[in-house]
Structure 1
Amino acid sequence: MLKKFMQMDLPVSRKMKYSILKRVRSHDKGAFEIDFTYCGVQIPINMFDGTQRSIYLYDGDEKFMLNFLRDYYAMLPKGGVFLDIGANSGNHAIWMSQYADKVYAFEPQKRLHERLRNILRENSEVGNIEVCPFALGEENKTDYIYHISKYSGSSSIVRKPDTNVPREEISIRQGDEAIRELNPESIAAVKIDVEGYEHFVLKGIGETLEKYRPLVIFEHAEENKASYGSFEGMRELFPEGYEFYQFDRRGAYRYHNCRRGFYTVVDFDFDLPVRAVATGGNANIIACPAGTEMPKKNFTPWSFEIRK
């Protein structure tokens, strides 16, 4: 009955329904899954997983980035492939299947890549997503990913907690080698969200970036600074001629709201504290080949925000 309530079309907001759910069912009882339609695709949503819950509440997690990618692909003369490195629940992959010619979703966690494959089997109309059940890095090897919390988006290869937490053995493929096997005709954009492993992914796909020169969005936190050492250390992971920007999630203008899908793009400053431009301590850097046109902001006011 509670599941039906969450799925029914009622004159109350989804946020209100989730608020009621929290009061009547504890997180400690485990996953609570409902069926949801996202980008025309029927998917299961675990309401107690942060990324999946955002899909339910806001029609997409990191909506500012989704809309940026949508707008970027609209500016391209032709589509191109999208690489989703760290696909997690399929938030970006499913969204980008509407705009990219082909989407490769790299996700090493078994329960997540099996979930994605089940979604694709049950939604045959989404035929341009291919799930790759491994991580990308510098070399071919196996390693462990640590499930630090119940939130699947926090699982990490490099963040090894002091206390005992569940861990999972995963496969890591050398990035350029794995992408050569896929043999994409073109790659327009790459998204990398791998909880501190970004440095190793970028090292592993150097030839790919040189060949295709895609736009790259990658997560950035204070711990990433230590792995790069300096801005020059980060820049060296990219071919010559790349410029660096970032999303300003503070509210660079009055009505900015990332959950509504608004974004502003500003110049990247390596020395600026990450929390100065990002919520939650994680920023998103945009590496773009010089001379490539890309969107810089998106804002559509509600009716009550229009002033005559």
Structure 2
Amino acid sequence: MNLTTQVGGRSFRVPVVQGLGMGNIEIIESWMVEIFDRLAPPRSGVFLDVGANTGQTLLKLRSRWTDTPWVGLEPNPACVQYLGQLIAANGFRACELVPVGLHTEAALMKLDFYTADGTDSSASLVANFRPDEKVFGHRLISTLPFAAIEPFVARTGVAFVKIDVEGGEKEVIETLRPVLQSARPPVLMEILPVYKPENTQRLERQTAIERIFRELGYQIFRVGKTPTEGFAGLRRLEEIGVHGEIAWSDYLVVPAERAAEFLKSLGEVAAPPAA
């Protein structure tokens, strides 16, 4: 069964199979559509969607950048199957789906699920990433470093990167380091809150991410949002820090030499009150 949804004023077909796909009927995070709306589509290179899940970002991207080649990396077989149906139902062109997780290692790894949903968007490759939550089950999945994938999917280069991998951001950035150093694409990513200093695993990973971006000469901006999930501008950060605000979890990280360009297009917001 195909239903219809509106994303950024455009209509898309949404396959629904035994409830799978319903999450695409009411798309949240309209701020992302607004970012794509304010930025010019890249002239060349691919949009690398790391952690494509069931195509939420793909729909937002296609609502604005209709011709930008999309490469989606997704290790969950249930999500991969659904993504294929979503792409076919809408006749999306220039879409390449890679059924692996992006990592520093070529390996077989355990993907932990924190809900009974087979497409669980909170599933993580990081063991004990949510120590206070029950693991409902796991699935063994394959991972590859980007160097093994790049010759097949990114021959024209990488123009933009989106990362949503539930704790595995450090390994993704490490394997993308050569691309970030040479091609200098912007990175739109989620980093979930540390909540408290005692969450040493999250804090250490977050600190490592900040260090890598500093070494690469990238500037981290937090995505500012309105109460209705609209886009409110960028907030420049020196460090992410320890906080507990889910709304502060999205970041646009850009080459420092292009920071002024992005601020001109997207605007800057003042720092909110301390958490």
Supply the AA of the counterpart residue of 1:114. Q
Q: What residue in structure 1 maps to residue 271 of structure 2?
A: none
For the residues of structure 2 that align with 1:291 and 1:196, how far apart are their CA atoms? 28
Q: Which moved more, 1:286-295 or 1:137-146?
A: 286-295
Whether 2:37 is the aligned partner of 1:70: answer: yes
1:158 and 1:177 map into 2 onto residues whose CA distance is: 22
Q: Aligned partner of 1:194: which letter?
A: V
CA 1:138–1:237: 2 relative to 1, 3 Å: farther
Determine whether 1:141 maps to 2:107: yes
**Which of 67, 84, 87 is equivalent to 1:120?**
87
Q: Give the one of 46, 64, 68 matched to 1:101.
A: 68
Partner residue, 2:239: 270
One-letter identity of the residue aligned with 2:107: K
Within 5 Å, which residues of 2 pair with 1:21-170? 35-38=3-6, 39-45=10-16, 52-53=22-23, 55-57=24-26, 60-74=27-41, 78=43, 80-97=45-62, 98-99=64-65, 100-124=67-91, 126-150=92-116, 152-160=120-128, 163=134, 165-170=136-141
Rounded Cα–Cα distance in structure 1 between residues aligned with 2:240 and 2:125: 26
Q: 5+ unaligned residues in a row in structure 1: which ranges? A: 1-32, 250-255, 299-308
Provide the residue aligned with 2:165 in structure 1.
Answer: 194
Q: RCO (CA 8 Å, sep 6+): is it higher in 1 or 2?
A: 2
Matched positions, count: 247
AA at the equivalent of 2:15: P
Task: Note the C-alpha offset of 1:130.
Answer: 1.2
* 1:186-225 matches, cutoff 5 A: 186-221=157-192, 222=194, 224-225=202-203
Cα deviation code 1:139-158 (max 9, x no counterpart): 11110111111452111111
TM-score relative to the length of structure 2:
0.78
Q: Which whole-Å CA distance do the structure 1 matches of 2:34 and 2:144 have between them? A: 30
Give, in angstroms, the shift of residue 88 of structure 1.
Answer: 0.6
Q: 1:101, CA displacement in angstroms?
A: 2.0
Query: Where do 5+ consecutive residues of structure 2 fail to align?
Result: 195-200, 269-275
**1:72-106: CA deviations, max 9, x gaps?**
235x5x25421110001101123223415200011
Q: Following TM superposition, by how much is the alpha carbon of 1:67 offset from its aligned partner in structure 2, in angstroms?
A: 1.8
Report deviation, 1:163.
5.0
Which structure has the larger Rg over C-alpha atoms? Answer: 1
**Aligned equivalents of 2:125, 2:88: Cα separation in 1:** 29
Aligned counterpart, 2:266: 296
Corresponding residue for residue 216 of structure 2:
240
Matched, 1:257 2:227: yes
State the match for 2:148 in structure 1.
177
* SS of residue matched to 2:3: strand
Question: CA–CA distance in 1 between the matches of 2:171 and 2:186?
Answer: 18
Q: What is the CA–CA distance in structure 1 between the aligned matches of 2:178 and 2:159, rounded to whole Å?
A: 15
Note closer, same or farther for the CA distance 1:147–1:212 as it changes in structure 2 (3 Å cut). same
Q: CA RMSD in A?
A: 2.8
Opposite residue 241 of structure 1, the aligned amino acid is: G
Counterpart amino acid of 1:123? Answer: N
SS at match of 1:248: strand
Separation of aligned partners in 2, 1:171 and 1:238: 30
